[in-house]
Structure 1
Amino acid sequence: METRQAGVLLHITSLPSSVKEQARAEKSRLGQIDQQAWHFVDWMHGADLAIWQLLPLTHTHSDGSPYHALSAFALDPKFLPETISNDAIDADAFAVFQQTHQAWLDDYALFMVLRDEFAQQAWYDWPESLKKRDVQSLAAFAKSHAEQLLRVKQQQFLLFTQWLKLKTYANQKKVRLFGDMPLFVALDSADVWANQDLFKLDEQANPEVVAGVPPDYFSETGQRWGNPHYDWQRMEQDGFAWWHLRVRHSLSLFDWLRIDHFRGLESCWEIDADEPTAINGRWVPTPGNELLQSLLRDFDELPLIAEDLGVITDEVLALKDKFGLPGMAVMQFGFDGLPDNPHALHAQTANTVVYSGTHDNDTTLGWWQGLDDNTQTWIASQLKPLVGPVIEQTDLDNSMPWWLVVAVMLSKANKAIIPMQDFLMLDSTHRMNTPGTVDHNWQWQFDWSQVPESLAENIAILVEACQRSGFEYKENQDG
Structure 2
Amino acid sequence: MRASGILMPVFSLPGPFGIGTLGQEAFAFVDFLARAKQTYWQILPIGPTGYGDSPYQSFSAFAGNPYFIDFRALADEGWLLPGEVPAAAPVGSIDYGALYNQRPVILQKAAARLLAAPTAAYAEFCTAQDFWLDDYALFMAIKAQQGQAGLADWPDALRTRDPSALAAARVRLADAVDYYKAVQFFFFTQWNALKAYANGKGILLVGDIPIYVSPDSSDLWTRPELFQTDGQVHLTHVAGCPPDAFAADGQLWGNPLYDWPRHEAEHFAWWKRRMKHATSIYDVVRIDHFRGFESYYSIPAGNTTAAGGHWEKGPDQAFIDAMHETLGQGGIIAEDLGYLTPEVKTMLAASGYPGMKIMQFAFDRREPGNYLPYTYTKNSVVYTGTHDNVTTEGWKESASPEDVHYACRYLRCEPDDLTEAMIAACLSCVSDMAIVPMADWLHLGAEARINTPSTQGANWQWRLATPLTGLLADHIADLTVLYDRAPAAE
Q: Once the two structures are superposed, what CA deviation does each residue of 1:427-464 show, in whole Å capped at 9, x if it has no partner? A: 01111111121111101001253x34410001100000
Give the match for residue 476 of structure 1.
none
Q: CA deviation at 1:165?
A: 0.9
Structure 1 CA distance, aligned partners of 2:174 and 2:368?
Answer: 59
Give the match for residue 24 of structure 1.
none
Contact 1:329 1:342 (C-alpha < 8 Å) held by counterparts = no
Contact 1:185 1:191 (C-alpha < 8 Å) held by counterparts = yes
Structure 1 residue 137 and structure 2 residue 165: aligned? yes
Q: CA deviation at 1:197?
A: 0.9
Give the match for residue 6 of structure 1.
4
**1:281-360 pair list within 5 angstroms:** 281-336=309-364, 341-360=369-388
Structure 1 residue 461 and structure 2 residue 478: aligned? yes
Bigger shift: 197-206 or 85-94?
Answer: 85-94
1:52 aligned to 19, 32, 41, which one?
A: 41
Q: CA deviation at 1:276?
A: 2.6
Q: Return the letter of the residue paired with 2:476.
A: I
Give the match for residue 444 of structure 1.
462
Q: Once the two structures are superposed, what CA deviation does each residue of 1:365-384 show, in whole Å capped at 9, x if it has no partner? A: 01012234454343223213
Structure 1 residue 73 and structure 2 residue 91: aligned? no
Q: Secondary structure at the match of 2:418?
A: coil
Bigger shift: 254-263 or 215-224?
Answer: 215-224
Structure 2 CA distance, aligned partners of 1:214 and 1:136?
Answer: 42
Contact 1:214 1:281 (C-alpha < 8 Å) held by counterparts = yes
Q: Return the letter of the residue paired with 1:410.
A: S
Contact 1:289 1:319 (C-alpha < 8 Å) held by counterparts = yes
- Structure 1 gaps of 5+ residues are 20-27, 389-396, 473-479
1:251 aligned to 243, 266, 279, which one?
A: 279
- Structure 2 gaps of 5+ residues are 80-110
Structure 1 residue 405 and structure 2 residue 413: aligned? no
1:431 aligned to 425, 434, 449, which one?
A: 449
Q: Secondary structure at the match of 2:488?
A: strand
**1:34-53 pair list within 5 angstroms:** 34-53=23-42
1:421 aligned to 427, 439, 443, which one?
A: 439
Give the match for residue 231 of structure 2.
203
Structure 1 CA distance, aligned partners of 2:363 and 2:119?
Answer: 57
Give the match for residue 172 of structure 1.
200
* Closer/same/farther in 2, CA of residues 62 and 203 from structure 1, 3 Å limit: closer
Q: Secondary structure at the match of 1:329?
A: strand
Q: Secondary structure at the match of 1:226?
A: strand
Structure 1 residue 181 and structure 2 residue 209: aligned? yes
Structure 1 CA distance, aligned partners of 2:470 and 2:486?
Answer: 21
Contact 1:199 1:229 (C-alpha < 8 Å) held by counterparts = yes
Structure 2 CA distance, aligned partners of 1:292 and 1:215?
Answer: 28
Contact 1:342 1:348 (C-alpha < 8 Å) held by counterparts = no
Q: Once the two structures are superposed, what CA deviation does each residue of 1:166-192 show, in whole Å capped at 9, x if it has no partner? A: 111111111100011111111111100
Q: CA deviation at 1:317?
A: 0.8
Q: CA deviation at 1:62?
A: 4.6
Q: CA deviation at 1:288?
A: 2.9
Structure 1 CA distance, aligned partners of 2:59 and 2:366?
Answer: 41
Structure 2 CA distance, aligned partners of 1:243 and 1:203?
Answer: 21
Give the match for residue 475 of structure 1.
none
Structure 1 vs Structure 2: percent identity of aligned residues?
39
Q: Secondary structure at the match of 1:63?
A: helix
Q: Once the two structures are superposed, what CA deviation does each residue of 1:254-287 show, in whole Å capped at 9, x if it has no partner? A: 1111110111000111111133322222211111
Give the match for residue 394 of structure 2.
366
Q: How many residue pairs end up in the alignment? A: 451
Q: CA deviation at 1:202?
A: 0.8
Structure 2 CA distance, aligned partners of 1:243 and 1:263?
Answer: 16
* Closer/same/farther in 2, CA of residues 342 and 140 from structure 1, 3 Å limit: same
Bigger shift: 125-134 or 320-329?
Answer: 125-134
Q: Return the letter of the residue paired with 2:315.
A: P
Bigger shift: 34-43 or 376-385?
Answer: 376-385
Q: Secondary structure at the match of 1:418?
A: strand
Structure 2 CA distance, aligned partners of 1:71 and 1:280?
Answer: 29
Structure 2 CA distance, aligned partners of 1:215 and 1:436?
Answer: 11
Structure 1 residue 260 and structure 2 residue 297: aligned? no
Contact 2:252 2:454 (C-alpha < 8 Å) held by counterparts = no
Q: CA deviation at 1:343?
A: 1.4
Structure 1 residue 219 and structure 2 residue 247: aligned? yes
* Closer/same/farther in 2, CA of residues 311 and 92 from structure 1, 3 Å limit: same
Structure 1 CA distance, aligned partners of 2:119 and 2:145?
Answer: 27
Contact 2:329 2:351 (C-alpha < 8 Å) held by counterparts = no
Contact 2:246 2:366 (C-alpha < 8 Å) held by counterparts = no
TM-score by length of 2: 0.88
Q: CA RMSD in A?
A: 2.1
* Closer/same/farther in 2, CA of residues 46 and 284 from structure 1, 3 Å limit: same
TM-score by length of 1: 0.90
Q: Return the letter of the residue paired with 1:121.
A: A
Give the match for residue 25 of structure 1.
none
Q: CA deviation at 1:339?
A: 12
Q: Return the letter of the residue paired with 2:123.
A: A
Q: Once the two structures are superposed, what CA deviation does each residue of 1:114-148 show, in whole Å capped at 9, x if it has no partner? A: 01101001122222221111222212221222221
Structure 2 CA distance, aligned partners of 1:68 and 1:338?
Answer: 28
Q: Once the two structures are superposed, what CA deviation does each residue of 1:45-100 show, in whole Å capped at 9, x if it has no partner? A: 00001100000001111521001111111101100112313336862111111111
Q: Secondary structure at the match of 1:139?
A: helix
**1:26-37 pair list within 5 angstroms:** 28-37=17-26
Contact 2:332 2:353 (C-alpha < 8 Å) held by counterparts = yes
Q: CA deviation at 1:244?
A: 0.9
Structure 1 CA distance, aligned partners of 2:293 and 2:127?
Answer: 31
